[in-house]
Amino acid sequence: MIPLVFLFLTLFNHEVYGRARWTEAQANAWFQSQTYIMGSQYITSDAGNQLEMFQNDTFNPTLIDYELGLAESLGMTTMRIFLHDLAYSQDPTGFKSRLETLLQICSKHGIKPLLTIFDSCWNAFPKAGKQPEPITGVMLSDIVGTYANDARVLGWDLWNEPGNAFNATQNAALEQLLPQVFDWALSVDPTQPVTAGIWAGLNGVVPSIQINNSDIMSFHNYDPASNFEGMIKTMQQFNRPIICTEYMARTRGSSFITHLPIGKQYNIGMINWGFVNGKTQNNYPWDSWQNPYTTYQPYLWFHEVFRNDGTPYMVEEAQVIKRLNGCPKGLKSTAASLKGLTCYNAYTTPLNSTDAAAACAKTYSNLGIIGSAAQNTDVINYVSANFSSCDKFYIGLYQDAYGGYDWPMAGWTYDNSAYVNWKTGYPTNDTTAKCVVLNKDGTWTNQACSTPQCYICSY
Ligand SMILES: *[C@@H]1O[C@H](CO)[C@@H](O)[C@H](O)[C@H]1NC(C)=O
Ligand SMILES: *[C@@H]1O[C@H](CO)[C@@H](O)[C@H](O)[C@H]1NC(C)=O
Ligand SMILES: *[C@@H]1O[C@H](CO)[C@@H](O)[C@H](O)[C@H]1NC(C)=O
Ligand SMILES: *[C@@H]1O[C@H](CO)[C@@H](O)[C@H](O)[C@H]1NC(C)=O
Ligand SMILES: *[C@@H]1O[C@H](CO)[C@@H](O)[C@H](O)[C@H]1NC(C)=O
Ligand SMILES: CC(=O)N[C@H]1CO[C@H](CO)[C@@H](O)[C@@H]1O
């Protein structure tokens, strides 16, 4: 028989408190069921802040659809999106209908957003001074409650950088409010995790509240690789999944190329600050408040993945991001490779070699580069199984001005120790046959570059 008091507590617990903080096992099981969590903080490039992004007059679903398409093209799986308490309180119904539209667009692009509710950095203390609690609690339980069972939402980042730029009075209020914020979120029994990122060390009352209440751990770090790795190790002590919810400030030594492989190695989620350059001007460093960069441009962009025209700021970064997202919709070869290129996509619309190379470049790839016999076999198996309509495919190898053969990567030229798999009698010494195709039997032959063929891209 179930003791009455236990039954009562269970009911009480469910009705009033929603759910408890996940156990470590629950949190880790959740993490393992997700595809690799990688993405950017996202605000539409035509908005200067979240209020503009979410207000009725300036909400722009067409642009969101285009920009999240860019995220999808890099294989990103999440976007960290700040909501805004003012946009909500002006018009809760309208705000939620726009949030619904946003979630539909996210879902279309395979993006599960991490929704961020409150912010110490960008807004003032929510409704500072005058009874913040009721407004805060209503908004939280309404928004989290509306989507508590919605698989389109990755999780709830309840408060961005709690205490950043707060004075002592505000901090004292925060110490009272923050535990309630977690309680309100859990009161509606969300199926997603709640978190609030550590941003200035683990010591102090506020970080302690964050650590003790988060289902999954999250942190911000804009430091070079060794410090970043140290922070991951520090966060591992809690035995819970970890997401780095802010990094990437190129001039501080925090970049995609340095940090993404470390994040992947430790299997933590990776979300950088900045996506498409626009009205927030996140390409400028933090000192742009004092130095507005009106007379010269920064020599290296601080944040952002894409330029405003939709091209990546650095193609090499786009390639690294895409590759670490696990070769979306293509072959991931585990065989020995050249320059770490392991992902392949084949295309069946015949193009001449110049146009094929340009088509690859559009997906942040090179015309196929094959680095070993095992990789050649992987590629052949992949195209035979999936692209049987083509009997040959352009790869990137081409005859240079001296009659040698090169791969199409800057700074890398043909060397005789590199793997080749010429068909007997090839390459022919024909100066009109400077491009190379991979044949169905795995051999390579050179031919005219103008002939339209299927082609393979790699990155
Ligand atoms: C919201 O914006 C749309 C398009 O700009 C407009 O048609 C509609 O009337 C607006 N709704 C409200 C409640 O202001
Ligand atoms: C702290 O900041 C709040 C909000 O800006 C302000 O109202 C208050 O006077 C400040 N308190 C102190 C002690 O500076
Ligand atoms: C967090 O949990 C630790 C260990 O249980 C405890 O010592 C600490 O006081 C808690 N922090 C807060 C702010 O409650
Ligand atoms: C092409 O010419 C090079 C020297 O120029 C020669 O070594 C090679 O055997 C020739 N290949 C063929 C297939 O005739
Ligand atoms: C490929 O076709 C394009 C036009 O689509 C043309 O400009 C280009 O010169 C062609 N390249 C070769 C190698 O034939
Ligand atoms: C992209 C694609 O169609 N991949 C398929 C290629 O073939 C293998 C083996 O049949 C499938 O597992 C892939 O899904």
Q: pLDDT digits over 104-124, tens only? A: 999 999 999 999 998 876 444
Asked whether residue 266 falls in the same domain as residue 402, the answer is no
Within a domain: 12: no
Both 208 and 303 in one domain: the answer is yes
Going by C-beta distance under 8 Å and a sequence separation of 6 or more, which residues neighbour residue 379?
331, 333, 344, 368, 370, 438, 456
Separation of 412 CA from ligand 4 center, angstroms? Answer: 23
- Distance between CA atoms of 279 and 46, rounded to whole angstroms? 6
**Within this chain, do residues 407 and 296 fall inside the same structural domain, yes or no?**
no
Ligand 1 pocket residue status of 93, Cβ below 6 Å: no
pLDDT higher than 80, residue 302: yes
pLDDT of residue 292: 66
The highest-confidence range among 80-94, 319-333, 442-456, by mean pLDDT, is 442-456
What residue ranges in 232-368 does DSSP mark as E strands? 242-246, 269-272, 331-332, 343-351, 366-367
Q: Give the dihedral of Cα atoms 254, 260, 263, 269; nearest 10 deg.
A: 100
The answer to whether residue 26 scores a pLDDT higher than 50 is yes
Same domain, 213 and 353: no
Residue 287: inside a domain, yes or no?
yes
**Ligand 2 mean position, distance from CA 129 (Å):** 9
Dist. CA 385 → ligand 6 center (Å): 6
Q: Who wins on pLDDT, 146 or 121? A: 146
Residue nearest to atom 1 of ligand 6 (CA): 330
91 within domain boundaries: yes
Give the model confidence (pLDDT) of 352-403 as tens digits: 999 999 999 888 888 999 999 999 999 999 999 999 999 999 999 999 888 8
Alpha-carbon Rg of the chain, whole angstroms? 26
Does residue 239 share a domain with residue 94?
Answer: yes
pLDDT digits (tens, 9 = 90+) for 216-257: 999 999 999 999 999 999 999 999 999 999 999 999 999 999
Distances (CA, A) of 456 to 11, 140, 332: 59, 49, 13
Cβ of 169 below 6 Å from ligand 2: yes
Find the helix or strand (DSSP H, E) in which 196 lies. none
> Are both 276 and 383 inside the same structural domain?
no
- Kindly identify the ligand whose nearest atom is closest to the C-alpha of 435: 5
Is residue 384 lining ligand 6, measured as CB closer than 6 Å?
A: no
Q: Which two tokens stand for residue 33?
A: 């069921």
Nearest-atom index, ligand 3, CA of 205: 13
CATH number for position 338: 3.10.100.10
Tokens of 30: 């959740």
CA of 372 to the centre of ligand 6 (A): 21
Any bridge partners for residue 116, and if so which? 82, 157
Tell me, yes or no, whether 4 lies in a domain: no
Interval 71-102: pLDDT, tens:
999 999 999 999 988 888 889 999 999 999 99
Question: Is the CB of 423 inside a 6 Å radius of any atom of ligand 4?
Answer: no
Ligand 5 atom nearest residue 449's Cα: 13
DSSP bridge partners of 159: 118
Same domain, 338 and 308: no
381 compared with 292, residue with greater pLDDT: 381
Question: Using one digit for the tens of pLDDT, what is the confidence trace for 29-70?
Answer: 999 999 999 999 999 999 998 889 999 999 999 999 999 999
**Higher pLDDT, residue 330 or 108:** 108
Residue at 212: amino acid letter? N
3 state DSSP class of 361: helix
**C-beta of 15 in contact with ligand 1 (< 6 A):** no
Q: Give the long-range contacts of residues 409-417, CB within 8 A, separation 24 or more.
A: 409/339, 409/366, 409/369, 412/338, 412/339
- Rounded to the nearest angstrom, the distance between the alpha carbon of 383 and the centre of ligand 6 is 9
- The average confidence (pLDDT) of the chain is 89
Count how many domains the chain has.
2
Q: Does residue 328 have a pLDDT over 90?
A: no
d(CA 229, CA 80) in angstroms, rounded, equals: 22
State the residue range of the domain holding 336: 331-458
- Calculate how far, in angstroms, residue 73's C-alpha sits from the geometric centre of ligand 5: 26
> Atom 9, ligand 5: which residue's CA is nearest?
354
Ligand 3 centre to CA of 19 (Å) is: 19
Mean pLDDT in residue range 422-426: 97
Q: Among the atoms of ligand 6, which is closest to the Cα of residue 385?
A: 7
At 346, the pLDDT band (50, 70, 90 cuts) reads: very high
425 burial (CB, 10 Å; 0-12 / 13-18 / 19+) is exposed
Q: Where are the beta strands (DSSP E) in 138-247?
A: 155-160, 194-195, 217-220, 242-246
Q: Is residue 19 part of a domain?
A: no
At residue 82's C-alpha, the angle toward residues 81 and 84, to 5°, is 145
- Does residue 128's CB lie within 6 angstroms of at least one atom of ligand 2? yes
Question: Which of 105-114, 169-178, 202-211, 435-444 bottoms out in mean pLDDT, i.e. has the lowest?
Answer: 169-178
Q: Does residue 410 form part of some domain?
A: yes
Query: For residue 185, which of 159, 160, 209 has the smallest C-alpha distance?
Result: 159
Do 203 and 127 lie in one domain? The reply is yes
C-alpha triplet 252, 258, 262: angle, nearest 5°: 125
Q: What is the CATH number of the domain that holds 39?
A: 3.20.20.80
| Residue 236: partners with Cβ closer than 8 Å, 6 or more residues away | 242, 266
Same-domain pairing of 215 and 179: yes
Do residues 320 and 339 both lie within one domain? Answer: no
Q: How far apart are CA 294 and CA 286, in angstroms?
A: 15
Residues forming a β-bridge with 119: 160
Residue 282's pLDDT is 82
Mean pLDDT over 303-315 rounds to 93
Cβ(196)–Cβ(214) below 8 Å: yes
Please tell me if the CB atom of residue 429 comes closer than 6 angstroms to any atom of ligand 4.
yes
Higher pLDDT, 273 or 429: 273
Q: DSSP H helical segments within 20-167, as ranges?
A: 24-32, 50-54, 61-73, 85-90, 92-108, 132-146
**Percent of the chain, pLDDT > 90?**
71
Q: Are residues 284 and 363 in the same domain?
A: no
| This prediction's pTM | 0.83
Q: Is 167 close to ligand 2, i.e. is its CB under 6 Å away?
A: yes
What residue's CA is closest to ligand 5, atom 4? Answer: 355
* CB of 171 sitting under 6 A from ligand 2: no
415 pLDDT above the threshold of 70 = no
Res 160: pLDDT: 94
Residues 6+ apart with CB under 8 A from 325: 36, 38, 74, 75, 76, 77
- Choose the final residue of a domain: 297, 324, 351: 324
Question: Which pLDDT does position 121 carry in this prediction?
Answer: 62
Residue nearest to atom 6 of ligand 1 (CA): 57
Ligand 1 centroid distance, CA of 58 (Å): 9
Point out which residues pair with 374 in neighbouring strands: none
Do residues 113 and 175 share a domain? yes
Tell me which of 313 and 131 has the higher pLDDT. Answer: 313
287 versus 439: the higher-pLDDT residue is 439
Pull the structure tokens for residue 103: 């979630």
Residue with tokens 């441009």: 297
Ligand nearest to the CA of 387: 6
Determine which helix (DSSP H) or strand (DSSP E) holds 127, and give its type and residue range: none
Split at pLDDT 50, 70, 90, the class of 417 is: low
Q: Which of 293, 324, 355 is the last residue of a domain?
A: 324
Q: Give the model's confidence band at 7: pLDDT under 50 very low, under 70 low, under 90 confident, else very high.
A: very low
